[in-house]
Structure 1
């Protein structure tokens, strides 16, 4: 901070006396020191003519402002330079890499957890299937291997978790189907409204769509199991056609149970029956050719052992083509149901679905009665004397 100096006459007199002191100081060999002091004083001398009372306050104010400005400059934040930015930005790729590694580790952890849960679910399904087999054996009074109505596990002696799941889901599907048939029967007997019948019809059609979806998933696992009808009762297998029933046969069962069909409806139903039979014949011919081709590919030549692997590869390709036939047959069955429901009124559609459900239910009941009869003959009743 700069200081202002005010000189008076007395100061000037004092300065003149300093000359006398210099003479004395010279004699005392300290002239050089005082001479330097005088030089410093000359540098700080101010001209009295230029100094006035007005300029002094301005000088003091400017000095104070300079001091305040210097203090403000010291407190202002300094903008980061390019070197600082390089220091800040340098670890960013490392942070991003570490975050990516953490996300990848979390993803792998979730996948391991999902696989573990699936393994637990598979084990649970196996246990449930074994419990069902034990319960069936206890009810029938026969060993599973001697039963005529064997399932996939009993026939192959191996457990396929996805096929076991299909059998469990199909058992639940049958229970739900019987429940829906009872609801349709009650609604028709009680003269339910069209709105209520419409809901029941839609629910029943969705139930069959779920069955076709379940069969498509099972065909991906083992199409031979599905097309053989091992998942159906023994009596149902008697009427089996490419893993199910013939659509034209279902029409022959349902149509006589319908009330008050108009001529237009009968014409549409006849056209639907004819188109279904033509599609069935085409699929049957294609399946027969596929079977012949498969037999040709897997027939053994006792003198040619080198082509065995190639023959099996061709046969595997035919097995994959067999899956397409099953899906096309189910598609024909589903489309026949949908077109039939569009031709009929709501009440007639409810009657037709009930007739079809009762038909399959009676086939399963007949199969159970036949098995019970076989059990009775295998274990004759012993009467006490």
Structure 2
């Protein structure tokens, strides 16, 4: 739990820094290459923090000495019931990052059309400020392709979990439980069987984290620095609000 609280504090600090830098860059008088470089560094910083968090989680999940390390991430005690209800293997669905591009970009585009006082006109005549509303056709094509690949990988991981869940009713755990006397007492056999399932679960969770990270990094590479920061702000606000 301490690691999670540290991660949340880091998220809040990063969010403050992102909002400040994005607001400054969004000012027409301050829009230049140096601002893009600053935003790019913040994006790289955000990626590094996420990568470090996933690495630390992986070390905890794959701890062979504690069978509950993996299962604790499925419904963490440090989360609330609402947030836990929407977890996908201990975190958000990787495709959620992409859905945010669509939803935030669409919302910002609508706002730009109705609020020209805070916008500038781009070369194609679309009102824009360089955020997700300004995503190009080529970028959108790349995002859509990433979305399709990510959903396929999500399905593969979900299928592995379904198989693992079904194995609860198979040997050896179900047979050991059936023959247990008295029922509910500690058993070395049950403990050993549960540990085997937990290790398998840990492997699936680690795979889910790798997909989250790879999707996030690829999406950041598609977007421009202002767009990437815009998305980072949206994801961090959503994450902090749902904890």
TM-score (norm 1): 0.48
CA shift, 1:301, in A, is: 2.3
1:197 aligns to what? 39
Among 261, 265, 273, the residue aligned to 2:139: 265
CA shift, 1:282, in A, is: 0.8
Structure 2 regions of 5+ residues with no counterpart? Answer: 105-131
Give me the whole-angstrom Cα distance separating, in 2, the residues matched to 1:302 and 1:172: 45
Q: Does 1:298 align with 2:173?
A: yes
Among 101, 106, 127, the residue aligned to 1:254: 101
| Greater RCO (CA < 8 Å, at least 6 residues apart) | 2
Choose 266-275 or 248-257, whichever is displaced more: 248-257
Q: Does 1:229 align with 2:76?
A: yes
Aligned length: 196
CA shift, 1:309, in A, is: 5.3
Q: Does 1:173 align with 2:173?
A: no
Matches within 5 A, 1:150-169: 167-169=1-3
1:283 aligns to what? 157
Structure 1 regions of 5+ residues with no counterpart? Answer: 1-166, 365-385
Residues 1:232 and 1:213: Cα distance change in structure 2 (over 3 Å): farther
CA shift, 1:311, in A, is: 5.7
Q: Per-residue CA shift, 1:77-113, capped at 9, x if unaligned? A: xxxxxxxxxxxxxxxxxxxxxxxxxxxxxxxxxxxxx
**Does the 8 Å contact 1:209/1:334 carry over to 2?**
yes
Give me the whole-angstrom Cα distance separating, in 2, the residues matched to 1:327 and 1:271: 24
CA shift, 1:248, in A, is: 1.0
Give me the whole-angstrom Cα distance separating, in 1, the residues matched to 2:102 and 2:13: 23
**Does the 8 Å contact 1:294/1:315 carry over to 2?**
no
2:195 aligns to what? 316
CA shift, 1:358, in A, is: 0.9
**Does the 8 Å contact 2:90/2:205 carry over to 1?**
yes
Give me the whole-angstrom Cα distance separating, in 1, the residues matched to 2:70 and 2:217: 25
Larger radius of gyration: 1
Q: Does 1:216 align with 2:50?
A: no
**Does the 8 Å contact 2:43/2:229 carry over to 1?**
yes
Residues 1:303 and 1:213: Cα distance change in structure 2 (over 3 Å): closer
CA shift, 1:217, in A, is: 2.1
RMSD of equivalent CA atoms: 2.0
1:243 aligns to what? 90
2:207 aligns to what? 328
2:124 aligns to what? none
**Does the 8 Å contact 2:97/2:216 carry over to 1?**
no
